[in-house]
Structures are given as C-alpha cells and as structure tokens.
C-alpha cells in the first residue's frame, strides 16, 4: 500500500501501517467512527504497541479521517481482494451474489455530494465479501457489474444477480469468467419477461420443487418450476449458455396479521440443474442482504455515518468488510456479530484470536 501523504514530502508523524492496524483493530472491537477509533487507541496503546511501534502515540480522529480520505481506494480495494483470496476458498457451485447498496451517509445535499452506490460480490458459503465497485447511481450498476466480474476469481461458482443485472453482455461476461448465472427477470426486460411467462403456459415444467419454511411468526411455501425444453423460446440466441427458465411462486402467511402474501418471480439460468437445487441457490442470493448489507447498516452503522471527504467513506467500508470477514472466520464460540465485537473490546486475547496474531 503506497503512502498517500506524498504532498507533505514525508514530514508526517504517524506511519500508515500503524494507522491501518489501529483502525482495523478498533473496528473489530466495536468502533464505528474516527472519534471512537481514537478513543480505542488511547485506551489500548500498550496492547497496540505489542504489534506496531506507534512512536508518536495515537493519531487524532481528524488525522485518521484525513489520511483515509487520501488513501487510494482502488489500490486499497485491490489489497483487500488479494487478502480475501488468501483466507477463503470458493467451492464448486458456490453462490456468489452480486447486488448494489446506497451508502446513505455519504451524501450531502448542501454541497451537492451524491451518495456513493457500492456494488458488492458476496460468497454465500464463505460468508465474506469478495470485492466491490463504486458507481454514482443505481442505474450505473449495469456498467459496474462487468468491471467487478473482471477482477473476481469465480471459476466454478454460480453468480446470482437481481433484475438490474439481467443483461445479455453480463451473462456473456459471467460465462467468460468460467462461472454460471442465475439472473432475475422483471419488466426492465419486458420482452424477456413476457417470453418466460409464455413458456410456462406452453410447456409443462420438467422439474418441480417445493420448500416450506417457518419462523418469526410466518410460514412461507416456495414452489419452484423449471423448464429445460426451450422449444418456442424466441430469445434463446440472445442469452449465452441459457439452459433453463425458472419460476418461483412464493406464498407467505403472516400469523400476527392473519394475512397471506403471494408473489411470482422469473429467472433465467445457464445451469441445467433440478428445481430443488435452483430454488436453494436463488434463495441464497438474499444472503447478501441479510449477511452483508444489513450487518454493515445495523452493526457497523454505515448508513448513519457522515464520512464525505475524499475516499473516506469507501475506504471505511473496506475496513468494515475486513473486520466483518475476520469476525465471521473466528468461530470458536457461537455469537452474534455485536457480541463478538463486544468480546473483542473487553478481551485482548480474543481480539488477537480474531486478528490471527
């Protein structure tokens, strides 16, 4: 990682690697802001000096914010992805969910700063983020997704994307990277949506799977139908490697409201698998919402933060993902993310276990 403060010609008090170690350790231990990181550092300086010199003491929160706003996000992101590959191994068929998230706290209407939109790839089996790309608006996900695919090692995996990423060039890119795809189909691809719906009126599904799930005061039944006979499917040539059309009909009964909700969703896939397998992989796509986006918001306070200067918000997002990955990999005890962070704040030996030092 290159030193970003070259404009000061090397005349700076705190070493970059010292600050990165401080920030990652603090975020693992529950800090969600530069002020909290500074407070952690001052209270844990003796422990920190076991691993980094911190010759000039703990940097102020203003210094931390300034340095991380200057840090080259693209290079930091590349380092993050190389590190992730070193600690995880993707299995054949593992679902890699790709989805975008708006970082609400990164906007400022008064100064005209737009919120950052982050497109992330999440390995559902490993439970870690593999990489990310930023864009200005949700509509720009279409260009960000191929760029993200280009830098991911996903050979043998199954990539799942919501309707925004249902683009023929994206399906081609996924196959080029040695992976398979399951793409959600909605009205943004009107002709495709109509064609898939028509096929389920013409053909009897070759495979059917039913899954029932209960909990949190609701019962959900998911029926998955799969068509592998693409005769009369007029758009087959437009979608590289397409093998199956999928329909998922879900019925959710909410006990407290005594109400039933029904929904039908369509997908296209390059997989020739049966309905039970496809149904499971489609459901695993939502792990990116529950196990990444939700945790970043609720546990790491991403949407409530107001880091707007330079690359500060994007770099802190990477730090949070590093901390989250390390905390998930530490599974000696079954605890929630919040409890693990609280434990790390109280117990130096547990923090070292999480950091693997």
Name the strand (E) or helix (H) holding 222.
strand 218-227
* Whole-structure pTM value: 0.83
Q: Are strands 218-227 and 158-161 parallel, antiparallel or unpaired?
A: unpaired
Percent of the chain with pLDDT over 70: 89
The closest alpha carbon to 286, from 313, 304, 265, belongs to 265
Rounded to whole angstroms, the Cα distance separating 224 from 337 reads 33
Q: How many helices (H) and strands (E) does the chain have?
A: 14, 9
- pLDDT, tens digit, for every residue of 22-60? 999 999 999 999 999 999 999 999 999 999 999 999 999
- pLDDT, tens digit, for every residue of 282-323? 998 988 877 777 788 767 766 555 555 667 888 998 999 999
CATH superfamily of the 185-273 domain: CAC2371-like domains (2.20.130.10)
In the chain, where are the structural domains located?
6-75+311-355, 185-273
The region that residue 301 occupies, defined by phi over 0 for left and psi between -120 and 50 for alpha, beta otherwise, is left
Q: Are 37 and 22 in contact (CB under 8 A)?
A: yes
Q: Are 203 and 252 in contact (CB under 8 A)?
A: no
Strand, coil or helix: 236: helix
pLDDT at 8: 47
Rounded to whole angstroms, the Cα distance separating 276 from 271 reads 12
DSSP-based helix, strand, coil % in the chain, nearest 5: 45, 20, 35
């Amino acid at each position: 990682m290159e030193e970003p403060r070259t404009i000061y010609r090397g005349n700076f008090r705190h070493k970059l690697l010292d600050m990165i170690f401080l920030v990652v350790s603090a975020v693992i231990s529950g800090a969600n802001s530069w002020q909290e990181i500074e407070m952690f550092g001052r209270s844990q300086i003796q422990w920190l000096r076991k691993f980094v010199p911190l010759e000039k003491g703990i940097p102020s929160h203003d210094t931390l914010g300034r340095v991380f706003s200057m840090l080259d996000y693209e290079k930091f992101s590349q380092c993050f992805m190389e590190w992730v590959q070193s600690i995880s191994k993707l299995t054949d068929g593992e679902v890699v969910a790709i989805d975008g998230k708006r970082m609400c706290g990164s906007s400022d209407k008064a100064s005209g700063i737009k919120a950052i939109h982050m497109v992330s790839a999440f390995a559902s089996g490993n439970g870690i983020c593999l990489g990310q790309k930023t864009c200005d608006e949700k509509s720009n996900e279409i260009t960000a997704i191929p760029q993200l695919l280009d830098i991911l090692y996903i050979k043998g995996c199954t990539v799942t994307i919501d309707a925004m990423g249902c683009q023929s060039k994206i399906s081609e890119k996924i196959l080029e990277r040695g992976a398979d795809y399951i793409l959600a189909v909605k009205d943004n691809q009107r002709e495709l949506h109509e064609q898939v719906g028509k096929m389920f009126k013409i053909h009897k599904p070759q495979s059917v799977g039913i899954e029932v799930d209960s909990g949190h005061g609701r019962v959900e039944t998911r029926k998955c139908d799969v068509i592998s006979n693409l005769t009369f499917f007029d758009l087959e040539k437009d979608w590289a490697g397409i093998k199956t059309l999928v329909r998922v009909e879900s019925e959710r009964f909410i006990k407290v409201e005594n109400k039933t909700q029904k929904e039908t969703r369509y997908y296209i896939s390059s997989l020739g698998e049966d309905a039970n397998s496809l149904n499971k992989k489609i459901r695993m796509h939502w792990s990116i919402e529950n196990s990444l986006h939700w945790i970043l918001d609720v546990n790491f306070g991403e949407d409530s933060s107001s880091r707007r200067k330079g690359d500060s918000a994007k770099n802190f997002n990477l730090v949070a993902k590093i901390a989250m990955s390390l905390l998930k990999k530490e599974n000696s005890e079954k605890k929630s993310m919040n409890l693990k962070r609280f434990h790390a704040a109280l117990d130096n030996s547990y923090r070292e276990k999480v950091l693997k030092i």
